[in-house]
Structure 1
Amino acid sequence: MPGSSFGTLFRITTWGESHGRAVGVVLDGCPAELALTEYDIQKELDRRRPGQSRASTQRTEADRVEILSGIFEGKTTGTPISMLIWNRDADSASYDLLRNRPRPGHADYAYQMKYGLRDHRGGGRSSARETAGRVAAGAVAKKLLQHFGVEVAAFVTELGGIKSRTDSVDLAELRARVEANPIRCPDPNAAMRMMEQLDLVRQEGDSLGGMVTIIARGVPPGLGDPVFDKLDADLAKALMSLGAVKAVEIGAGIGCAGMRGSEMNDPLRMEGGKIGFEGNNAGGILGGISTGMDIVCRIAVKPTPSIAKKQHTVDLAAGMDAEIEIKGRHDPAIPPRMVPVAEAMVAIVLADHLLRQRMSRL
């Protein structure tokens, strides 16, 4: 299947299906001698792992990573890093009725029209299970970014219409707040209301959508290119490539449409002999190139399409209208588990552009 690879120098290829034997990723382009262990990968996969709270699906995958290549004596060798995660808790029986009945909101019908054949078990390649490989590769990207003093953190800022308030804090403190509750919202009061709303909606057989914010701090100025390979364009593609993401904002985002130039522009000033900005409506990127300010992205995540409510669809085999009630184990809301996945994709883009920038000038 074309389109399973992403990146230029720091390049990943994910593989596998939701109910196949395993999923995984091959990462090429990571420099040699980067200290890396399975623990570095596992701690990120554990954040994404299903079945950890009532805010996620109850599929209980251990998601233990096996590094098959590219590591020797605790360091990268510069050769492709291949990582595998076995599927242990797939329950395909729940999907038998979906073989000929495409689920509303899912890729089922579109895949059928494109390929004429699809793996109906859990969505196959279109399943969010594919993102385990992205998170594994993102863990390597994060280790590489640490070498350059760059850190990435994401958090839920809205769920089911409930918005959170987030102070500007140290990213380590922000991450601690985020991991303190199953919603992954740094505002504890908003997180409690979000969880109450989620419990209510789940009892009704429905689901919720929301917003996730990603911040990258310590990004040096100069990353990106001014035309087709803009840093914000690559970030948008990376984040839009995630299933359930329907919009991406950088900095002020869609809010800039209602602003004046005098409001949108971030004035420059000298700070201790260095150039800085009075604001960050640009989200850390101007002309497709990083400015050194925090890179701020927001993604709109749609409600989980697999819901228990009865929905209208068609029966492809019979050629007639039909109804569907989706069984199985599904996330009642995607944003909480989207947090480590979004971090991974931003980290992969930044790692790629850092390596590309090192080749762009003497």
Structure 2
Amino acid sequence: MRYLTAGESHGKQLTTILEGIPSKLPITKDDINESLLRRQQGYGRGKRMQIETDLVEIMGGIRHGYTLGSPISLVIRNDDFKHWTDIMGEDPIPEDTKLRRVVTRPRPGHADLNGALKYGHRDIRNILERSSARETAARVAAGAVAKKLLKELGIEVAGYVKEIGGIVAEDQEGMSMKERQEISRKSPVMVLDPSAEKEMMEKIDHAKSEGDTLGGVCEVYVEGVPAGVGSYVHYDRKLDSRIAGSVVGINAFKGVEFGIGFDAAKIYGSENHDEIAWNEELGYHRTSNRLGGFEGGMSTGMPLVVRGVMKPIPTLMKKPLQSVDIDTKEEITATIERSDPCAVPAASVVMEHVVAFEVAKAITEQFPHDQFPQLKEALDKYREEIRWF
């Protein structure tokens, strides 16, 4: 499985080409639109989400409610393009025209300056339009197809917020998967802990009034993955390594951890690892889940617990950061594009979908998957085999 995305923030559309999904997987555009809608929600989103209504158009690879086994083409139109047709159009325009809206003030914390240096663009809009987090809608679309595949295999995924601006939600270890999904989707900040919800919203309001931004921590919880998915034999086949790369690949994400994560540095080995047990009902299982469902680059059969750290968005509406104009070399304040005071809730949805894609990818690599019924039969057989191994 793999996918490519194309498109700019204010361009005509975002396009996703998804390859490697088995044939005969039941799916409709509603399965994808549900995920796209969730990405647009969350307390702290900016005005762009009031403009766009993200709905997918399936352009190929799905017929009459089932995948064909061929590449899947998905399109998300940018409604705001009608206001940017001259600025973002593909046809040549005179170099001196005001329609170009040339950007020469790079924003610290964004891809602006580094991208301009790498690709030789004197107009930074050529960088910021593609590096925008708007592109994550295309990744969510790909992840929604992967989530549907996992669900049909008995694997469920939930993403939610753990922390915003230093306000930390309490762990909910005994909460069921259904509760995690339902409670997070009803919460304005997509958090499982009601006591933290109000504090987070108040802090977002304060940041907005100050023209500032907030970051936080997102968590993804995956249930139903059998032991042994992934591999220890090469670094690039380790499931946790792949997930870590995909999470840090989300815009503004700066770190990732599994299970107790960095707290492992503070405790003894006897307090860190997950002891092994066996009984007829569960087969092999662990008496704890401190390692977040991973050992040696493979799943242990316990729930996968992944957390990602998102920095505050660096576009500050009232406190623009200092920069340098790339044409004049004068010290200036950075260009201000539309920004969210806090995008952590929406980012938890993006993280949920990139994690789902990596899990689905690892499963399709490990089992026959030209046709979905073959994949399901092979995975069910494997589950029974390892239970009595």
Query: Do these two structures clear the TM 0.5 threshold for a shared fold by scoring above it?
Result: yes
Per the alignment, residue 58 of structure 1 pairs with 47
Q: Give 5+ residue unaligned stretches, structure 2.
A: 88-98, 370-377, 383-389
1:191 aligns with 2:197: yes
Aligned mate of 1:220, from 216, 219, 226: 226
Aligned to 2:310: 301
Please say if 1:101 is aligned against 2:109.
Answer: no
Which of 324, 337, 358 aligns to 2:334? It is: 324
Distance (Å, rounded) in 1 between the aligned partners of 2:180 and 2:42: 20
Q: Tell me if structure 2 keeps the 8 A contact 1:217–1:293.
A: yes
Q: C-alpha deviations, 1:292-323, integer Å up to 9, x for none?
A: 00111000000011111132100000022112
The amino acid across from 1:132 in the alignment is A
Kept in 1: contact 2:42–2:346 (CA 8 A): no
Distance 1:288 1:53 in 2: 33
Give the direction of change, closer, same or farther, for the CA distance of 1:53–1:156 in structure 2 (3 Å limit): closer
Q: Which residue of 2 aligns with 1:5?
A: none
Aligned residues: CA RMSD: 2.0
User: Aligned residue pairs: how many?
Assistant: 349
Contact preservation (8 Å) 1:32, 1:76: yes
Q: Separation in 1 of the partners of 2:114 and 2:334?
A: 18
What is the letter of the counterpart of residue 107 of structure 1? A
Query: How far apart in 2 are the matches of 1:359 and 1:130?
Result: 31
- Structure 2: distance between partners of 1:170 and 1:121: 45
State whether residues 18 and 121 of structure 1, in contact with CA within 8 Å, keep that contact through their aligned partners in structure 2.
Answer: no
Amino acid across the alignment from 1:164: A
Contact 1:55/1:182, CA 8 A, preserved across alignment: no
Q: Which 4+ residue blocks in structure 1 deviate beyond 4 angstroms? A: 90-93, 95-98, 359-362
* 1:78 equivalent in alignment to 2:36: no
1:130 matched to which residue of 2?
135
Aligned residue number for residue 6 of structure 1: none
Partner Cα distance (1:128, 1:138) in 2: 16
The 1-side partners of 2:46 and 2:158 are apart by 23
CA apart distance, 1:121: 6.8
With the length of structure 2 as denominator, give the TM-score of the two structures: 0.86
State the alpha-carbon separation in 2 of the partners of residues 353 and 55 from structure 1. 34
Aligned residue runs from structure 1 range 1-362, under 5 A: 10-49=1-40, 52=41, 54-59=43-48, 60-89=51-80, 99-117=103-121, 120=125, 123-167=128-172, 168-226=174-232, 227-228=234-235, 229-272=237-280, 274-308=283-317, 309-324=319-334, 326=336, 328-359=337-368
What is the Cα deviation at residue 54 of structure 1? 4.8
Structure 1 residue runs without a partner (length 5+): 1-9
- Give how far 1:166 is off: 3.3
Distance 1:11 1:180, change over 3 A: same
Give the drift of 1:40: 0.7
Structure 2 residue matching 1:179: 3-state secondary structure = helix
Instruction: Summarize the Cα distance change of 1:54–1:164 in structure 2 as closer, same or farther, 3 Å threshold.
Output: closer
> Identity of counterpart residues, as a percentage?
40
Which residue identity lines up with residue 55 of structure 1 in the other structure? G
SS in 2 for 1:152: strand
TM-score (norm 1): 0.92
Q: Distance in 1 between matches of 2:269 and 2:212?
A: 42
State the shift of 1:97 in Å: 7.5
Conserved in 2, the CA contact under 8 Å of 1:214 and 1:298? yes
1:330 maps to a residue whose letter is: S
Say if 2:42 and 2:189, in contact at 8 Å, map to a contact too: no
Q: CA deviation at 1:193?
A: 0.5
Distance 2:223 2:345 in 1: 21
In structure 1, how many angstroms separate the alpha carbons of the residues matched to 2:114 and 2:284?
A: 49
Question: Do the aligned residues in 2 keep the contact of 1:230 with 1:289 (CA within 8 Å)?
Answer: yes
Q: Is the 8 A contact 1:224 1:289 kept in 2?
A: yes
2 CA distance for matches of 1:152 and 1:48? 15
Task: Tell me the CA shift for residue 63 of structure 1.
Answer: 1.0
Q: Distance in 2 between matches of 1:336 and 1:166?
A: 17
Write 1 or 2 for the structure with the bigger share of helix.
Answer: 2
What is the CA-CA distance between 1:344 and the residue it aligns to?
Answer: 0.7
User: Contact 1:156/1:183 (CA < 8 Å) preserved in 2?
Assistant: yes
Point out the structure with max Rg over C-alpha: 2
1:141-181 Cα deviation digits (max 9, x unpaired): 01110121111101101001000113221111111111122
Q: Work out whether residues 19 and 122 of structure 1, in 8 Å CA contact, stay in contact via their aligned partners in 2.
A: no
Note closer, same or farther for the CA distance 1:33–1:20 as it changes in structure 2 (3 Å cut): same
Map of 1:4 onto structure 2:
none
| Amino acid corresponding to residue 286 of structure 1 in structure 2 | E
The answer to whether the 8 Å contact 1:208/1:333 transfers is yes
CA, structure 1 residues 325+83, in 2 after alignment: closer, same or farther (shift >3 Å)? closer
Corresponding residue SS for 2:322? strand
Q: Deviations over 1:26-45 (max 9, x none)?
A: 00010000111111111111
